[in-house]
Structure 1
Amino acid sequence: MFTGLHEIDWASMTHAYGPATEVPYLLRGLASDDPREREAAADGMYGAVHHQGDVYDSTLACIPFLFELVTDGAVQDRGVIVGLLASIGGMDIGGDDFEGDKTDLPDAEEAEWRANYAMAHAAVRAGADIFLALLTDPDPDVRREVPPVLTAWPDHAARTFAVLRERLPAEPDFEARMAVVEAVSTLALRIPELSGTVGGWLAGLAAAHQDPALRLAALAQVARCAPGALPADIAAAVCALLAAMQPGPDPATEPEASPAAPSGLIGEPGQLGNLRESPAHAGSGAGVLWAGDLLRTLQSALGDRTGDRAAILADQLRSAHRDRRIDAVWMTGGLLRGWRGQYEELVELVGQQLSDPEPRLTAAAASVLEDLDTLAGPAADALARCLDDAPCSSEPGPRALPPWVRQWPDGRPTLGPAPKSLARLGDRRVLPALAWALEQPEPPRDIAHAIGALGEPGTSLVPLLRRRLREAPLDERLYDRCDPLLSAVAALAGYADAAAPAVPEVLRILRNAPAGHREWTLLTAARALGRIGPAALEAVPDLTVLLEDPSHCTAIAAASALWRIEPGTGADAVLPVLQRHIAGPVRSARAAVQAIAELGPAAVSARPRLRGLLTVSDPWLRLDAAVALWRVTGDCTAAVPVLRASWRENAHSRRDVARCAAQMGPAAAGLGPLLARELAAARRHNHAEGGYGGHDIAADLRLLEYCRDALSRLGGPGV
């Protein structure tokens, strides 16, 4: 082994961090008898030689030695090496996608990168017979890694399917069987001509195999590659299989180390740890420990079959086993974030978990409900009971009960999930928690959003907000203490002048903005005064001075506030300021354009400037300009094409487009088909695989409201 290893001029080669001089030692480390050395060597290979999937000249030089290692039965942890070879050769993604995304490099460098990827792909592909032989290797870790590699040879797809199908009955290791089933499904996805044959075989496994876990895995893969082959009663079939896979221990004695979040990874986040799946559990009960992973795969594969997905999750949320319910809670969150549907029963069941004595389950349920906005309605009573029993404050952690206020070790406090959820429902039972939070030395930074969402019941907090603003020390921490208070005043200003009595307190902050956060303090205070409107007349002199402030944001906020306070007389004073800032940075230009839109016809002299912005490169500024142009001129001719383009190019702009269409009325009839298609879509408009925001569902619900409103006003053909 390693013949010729030291004859290679490694110093002339590179990896992610420079000369590749240590690569021989990494290769030898992979063959070490010391597990710590093997771990360190594997981390070095993934962290430098194959950093983030890149292929260097040193990576290419390693391939023959990696094949030597993987075929030597005396080497331990060869499964890691199989996975490394597959990644280097692009076998884990298959097809022609093995080339890296290096389009940001100069042409010559990009050509070199592409050549490296192509050579790596060819070199690993040449080892096809080695990988086939490894399907029967004595080491189950090796056998688990091989099936996905075999799916990367599309020209041998029929042979690969036959080999994998033949291997499954003889494979004794549970995880290796799972790998075979998933690989066959992946093969069908890459070679559509095989989908019928593969789907039929997998459906047969799902119907007749003796192992319920394998049957569930087969169902999940049928949903991935051949959904037409799924049984009509898929939800009932899945629930029956999950019931047959019930955990053995009594629920009261379940181990505390069960996963609290939907992750298939183990250990601390790291270079190699992120590449390894949960540990093997041999034996007939192994499938029990895979139930959550299999159900997540199935949930994802079922896609828009939200009724079936909800029925399966409802069944799991009624399970006697807490780990099943914890998994189901997290999966419910994923379903509701990604797909529209009728989820009242599911939400109520999640709410019921809030009363469980297991803090992991309570924390999971509260976290999911926190992001549901008005969809959390069926859990309102459960949330209120949780709020009554919760601590006022605590540091976040995996075993912490949901508090009223979260205290972060290195940051400002935030509201807990139960107060947020109840406030978004407009439920006045949250008022004691909000009042307590406002009394703290530093109010939660997000409390203004909750008070604004609460609506009219929140106006009872105005006296408390005034007192806190009045008593706030005028020091360098003024902004941290008062920004949430000022924003809360602004949020309540629309309720029959409820916030008008707070004008003196807001002016106190405006006039004493500290140097450290002067711009942000002035901005927040000016916005609050503008929201209060004509009742803030005494602020006009102070705001007029700020029109010439060197800060773009401050000057624009002052101009907008002046117009709101004196809408009949302020245009001549504020419009020149706003037009001046249109030429500033994009952020300032957007703020100025949005303020001009508020002026409406009084800003008609800005029409040429607004028209010029309809073709700028920034998509959000183009949209703002189109909206402003319509509000200023009343002419939809130039605005509607921009709105239509924004809708198609930027899904996150659809809420603004739909709101503007509702305001335009029949003149926006050209947008009708887009609005109607959105209402009929099952997928949330802002869903992104692998990430989400806490306000995504709320934004999608508002979009649907605006679409319905706009369509009710449009009429005409195609609507």
Structure 2
Amino acid sequence: MFTGIDEVDWASMRHAYGSAEDVPALLRGLASADPAERETALDGLYGAVHHQGDVYDSTLACVPFLFALAARPDLPDRGAVVELLVSIGGEGEGPSAVRAGAEVFARLTGDPDPGVRGTAPGALVRFLDQPARVLDLLRERLTVERDDRVLLALVESLGLYARRNPAHADAAVDLLAAQAALPHGPELRLAALGQLAGCAPDRIPADLVPTAVRLLQERSERRSRQAALCARPHTDTLVGRLRRLRPSDEEGSQLLRTLHNALDGRTGDRIALLVGQLSSPEWADRCNAVWMSGGLFRTWRADFSEPAALIGAQLDASEDRLRDAAVAALKQLFELAAPAADGLHRLVTARPDLWVRQWEHGAPALGDPLRALVRCGDPRAVPVLGEVLAGAVVPDDLGHEISWLGAAAAPLAPALRRRLGSLALDDPGTPGRAAPLLRALGGLGDAESVPETLRLLEAGGAVEYAVPALGAWSSAAREAVPALSRLLDTEFAVPAAAALWSIDGDASAVLPVLLNELRHRDSRRWGTAAEVLGRMGQAARAALPELRRAADSPGPAERRATAACALWRIGGEVETVNPVLRSAWTEKPHLRRRIAVCLRAMGPAGAPLGDLVATELAALRRHTAHSEGYGSHDIPHDEELLRLCREVLPAPWTQQQAATG
């Protein structure tokens, strides 16, 4: 098993933490009779030799010994070794190294250890380059296998096989269809339906969703009976606490998630499936549904009112994990969580202890139930926020959330103002605490906050945040003009110029500052300067040459789009503007909201871009959905784009476009 291991020059090789001299000990640890030692060795191999999926020279040198370990029938935990080999085979030079020993996986499909039999089929599909033989082996194992978990692995491997081997996919799909129709247990049929939907959507049954919901119910009833028979006392022991912390139904989550992912953009089916899950009598099913709803909501556009209301119903659950999952899902929905507002309000009213979240380290934060109620725009959050503002502990992020309440939050202005005025000028934490308060007061148009804001501005502790707030109050902040004018020779010159223009509209005072900034394209305030120049309109005609150069340059799409919007507002240069906006819309989806605002202002002049707006409104996929991950505000940003597009389309220029064909 370890023949030749000491002849390998491990010292000359590397892993994530330096020399690979310790690798032989880790490999030998996998063969230990002590389970703890095996676990430690496996952790060391993942942590150093295959750190975060990386493949080093030492990783490749381990592969022959890992195969030797996997092939020894007397060793325990070999399924974990096979999983490690599969993971190594997914990166860099790993596939070739693992493929060279893939014959071992063929033998392991019939291993006495079900843990090995469950991991071998997936490895076989990935690394044995003999498609016909692989399919024969999978078919044979389906016939003789009796272990339910191994059967699930075989079904998943058939789906993988069909996707990786299109020329041989029909036979694999036939096997999947047969497994979905046979009188198996609900788990196996759900798995087969999920794989079938993923690799052959034309073969899924017409009653897929009702069938899946019925199978889920059968599975839940069976699990409930088994749980009753195997009930354990809720002891206050370490073992008991750890048992209660385990995922409630990891297998069920995986089965339904696979089906959801396979259905992808079939939002009607996915919503119906989600509603079925959320209507289950088993709290674990409902909890799984809540957690997997996020991917659907963030990626696709549809009417989510029914599942949102059902998620809101989970807020009354006695199970903490279900309630917390529901809150976490709803706070990402913002206004789309409105159907759950009654449930959120009940929870917030009943649990004042959840209004503020105290962290062990760091500033206190607004509690998630109250945050979700605020974000869905429910005015019932206002008196609660008033109580929070009057309390001893006020979350620093409260001001950031108030904007979602719109004008309904106006009664909070005096309390916000008082809190702003109470901030200590010599406290280094004041700017961070002032930022959300100033943002909220600016959004509420509370010009009575000018004295408190000037106090901070003149102390120099929160200039970055005080200046935009003063600009938001427009002419009502006229007493701030001297203080803002003094900033025109500082690093805050551009935001000060922006505020001054909003307050008194004196182009002679601010135009030189903005033009100077426009000449430095690498400046972080270039975009702000261009946007303010656009707001100045014809008073900023001196900026047109530099803006034309920026719009025509091969620079970032964001800069070109900003320049184009300013060109329209200042000089109405349609021929220059429209091609730039079209290119930026396609190249950088995150710019679409900004461009839509410009199109709304352009009216008939933006008619040539009407096809972009119409296509966006017809799209089912959110413009914020991408493979690199997601942001906490993706849903409201996409909903805002849709609102802007609806405002653009009814404009007169669309009628003109229709008339001209």
Give the letter aligned to residue 227 of structure 1: P
Task: Return the structure number with greater helix share.
Answer: 2
Do structure 1's residue 362 and structure 2's residue 323 form an aligned pair? yes
Q: Is this contact kept in 1: 2:434–2:465, CA < 8 A?
A: no
Inter-partner Cα distance in structure 1 for 2:362 and 2:487: 31
Aligned to 2:470: 529
Structure 2 residue 512 is the aligned partner of structure 1 residue 576: yes
For 1:599, the equivalent position in structure 2 comes to 536
The TM-score normalised by the length of structure 1 is 0.84
CA deviation profile, 1:606-665 (whole Å, cap 9, x unmatched):
112212222253332222222222212111222222222222222211221222222212
Aligned to 2:430: 478
> What is the match of residue 267 of structure 2?
306
Superimposed CA distance per residue, residues 541-562 of structure 1 (whole angstroms, 9 cap, x where no aligned partner): 010001112x2xx222111110
Q: Give me the whole-angstrom Cα distance separating, in 2, the residues matched to 1:424 and 1:29.
A: 52
Task: Report the counterpart of residue 273 of structure 1 in structure 2.
Answer: none
Alignment-derived partner of residue 95 in structure 1: none
Find the residue that maps to 1:136 and give its secondary structure: coil
**What is the match of residue 75 of structure 2?**
75
Query: How far did residue 61 of structure 1 move?
Result: 2.5
Structure 2 SS opposite 1:587 = coil
**Structure 1 runs not aligned, ≥5 long:** 91-97, 101-116, 258-265, 268-276, 280-287, 394-402, 494-498
Map 1:452-467 onto structure 2 (within 5 A): 452-467=403-418
Q: 2:479 and 2:437 mapped to 1: Cα distance?
A: 20
Residues 32 and 648 of structure 1: CA distance in aligned 2, closer, same or farther (over 3 Å): same
Matches within 5 A, 1:93-492: 100=92, 117=93, 120-153=94-127, 155-246=129-220, 247-248=223-224, 290-391=251-352, 393=353, 403-440=354-391, 443-476=394-427, 477-492=429-444
3-state SS in 1 of match to 2:607 = helix
**Residue among 571, 586, 590 paired with 1:648:** 586
The alignment covers a number of residue pairs equal to 642
Q: 1: CA distance between counterparts of 2:377 and 2:37? A: 58
The alpha carbon displacement at 1:454 in A equals 1.0
Separation (CA, whole Å) in 1 of partners of 2:614 and 2:591:
16
The one of 573, 590, 594 aligned to 1:635: 573
Give distance in 1, aligned partners of 2:227 and 2:152.
27
Cα distance in 2 for residues equivalent to 1:194 and 1:360: 44
Q: Which deviates further from its counterpart, 590-599 or 528-537?
A: 590-599
1:315-345: CA deviations, max 9, x gaps?
Answer: 2212222111111112223221221111211
The alpha-carbon deviation at position 289 of structure 1 amounts to 6.2
Matched with 2:452 is 505
In 2, distance between residues paired with 1:564 and 1:248?
65
State the shift of 1:8 in Å: 2.2
| Distance change >3 Å, CA 47–CA 424, structure 1 → 2 | closer
2: CA distance between counterparts of 1:305 and 1:684?
A: 14
Q: Which range moved further: 348-357 or 620-629?
A: 620-629
Structure 1's 15 and 357: CA in aligned 2 closer, same or farther, altered over 3 A? closer
Distance in 2, matches of 1:278 and 1:156, equals 38
How far is 1:185 from its partner? 0.6
Instruction: Quote the Cα distance in structure 2 between the aligned partners of 1:631 and 1:36.
Output: 69
Instruction: Give the Cα–Cα distance (whole angstroms) in 1 for the partners of residues 225 and 593 of structure 2.
Output: 49
Distance 1:422 1:250, change over 3 A: farther
The question of whether the paired residues in 2 share the 8 Å contact of 1:340 and 1:683 is answered with yes
Q: CA deviation at 1:431?
A: 0.9
Deviations 1:427-457 (A, max 9, x none): 2211112212323456433323332221112
Which amino acid in 2 is paired with 1:545? R
CA contact (8 A) 1:448 1:491 kept: no
CA shift for structure 1 position 699:
0.5
User: Secondary structure in 2 aligned to 1:248?
Assistant: helix
> Is 1:543 aligned to 2:484, yes or no?
yes
- What amino acid does structure 2 have at the position aligned with 1:371? Q
Write the letter of the residue equivalent to 2:125.
Answer: T
Report the Cα distance in structure 2 between the residues aligned to 1:181 and 1:250, rounded to whole angstroms.
24
Tell me the amino acid that sits aligned with residue 335 of structure 2. Answer: T
Q: Distance in 2 between matches of 1:150 and 1:460?
A: 66
Q: Is the 8 A contact 2:457 2:463 kept in 1?
A: yes
Q: Contact (CA 8 Å) 2:95, 2:127: kept in 1 or not? A: no
CA RMSD of aligned residues (A): 2.5
Q: Which shifted more, 167-176 or 216-225?
A: 167-176
Q: Is the 8 A contact 1:441 1:481 kept in 2?
A: no
The structural deviation recorded for 1:23 is 2.0
Structure 2 length as normaliser, TM-score? 0.91
Q: 1:6: Cα distance to partner?
A: 1.3
The whole-number CA distance in structure 1 between the counterparts of 2:233 and 2:377 is: 36
User: Any conservation in 2 of the 1:251–1:322 contact (CA below 8 Å)?
Assistant: no
Structure 2 Cα separation of the partners of residues 37 and 564 of structure 1: 69
Cα distance between partner residues in 2 of 1:652 and 1:12 = 47
Letter of the 1:452 counterpart = S
In the TM superposition, what whole-angstrom CA distance separates every residue of 1:505-529 from its partner, at most 9, and x where no partner exists? 221221223xxxx3xx112111111
Cα deviation for residue 311 of structure 1 reads 1.4
Which whole-Å deviations, capped at 9, do the CAs of 1:210-252 have from their partners, x for residues lacking one?
2111000000001110111111111111111011101325999
Q: Which moved more, 1:329-338 or 1:414-423?
A: 414-423
The share of aligned pairs that are identical, in percent, is 46
Residue 105 of structure 1 corresponds to none
| Structure 2 match to 1:679 | 617
Quickly say closer, same or farther: Cα 1:154–1:671, change in 2 above 3 A: farther
Post-superposition Cα deviations, 1:487-511, rounded to whole Å, max 9, x if no partner, equal 1111111xxxxx1222222212212
Question: In 2, are the aligned partners of 1:154 and 1:191 still within 8 Å (CA)?
Answer: no
Q: Is 2:545 aligned against 1:608? A: yes
Match of 1:708 among 627, 646, 655: 646
Kept after mapping to 2: 8 A contact 1:206/1:216: yes
Change (3 A) 1:165 1:666: farther
Contact 1:369 1:421 in 2 (8 A): yes
In structure 1, how many angstroms separate the alpha carbons of the residues matched to 2:644 and 2:232? 48
Q: Which residue of 2 aligns with 1:270?
A: none
Does the aligned pair in 2 maintain the 1:684–1:700 contact within 8 Å? yes
Preserved CA contact (<8 Å) 1:443 1:481? no
- CA drift of 1:586 comes to 4.3
Instruction: Give the distance between the partners of 2:186 and 2:120, measured in 1 at CA.
Output: 24
Give yes or no for contact 2:400–2:437 (8 Å, CA) kept in 1: no
Determine the C-alpha separation between the residues in 1 that align with 2:524 and 2:149: 52
Partner of 2:3: 3
CA contact (8 A) 1:404 1:415 kept: yes
CA pair 54-380 structure 1, distance change in 2 beyond 3 A: closer
Q: In structure 1, what is the Cα distance between the partners aligned to 2:108 and 2:473? A: 73
Q: Which amino acid aligns with 1:20?
A: A
Aligned CA distance change for structure 1 residues 463 and 200 (closer, same or farther; 3 Å): same
Which residue in the other structure is 2:602 paired with? 664
**1:563-619 Cα shifts (integer Å, max 9, x gaps):** 00012xx11111211222231644222222222222222111111221222225333
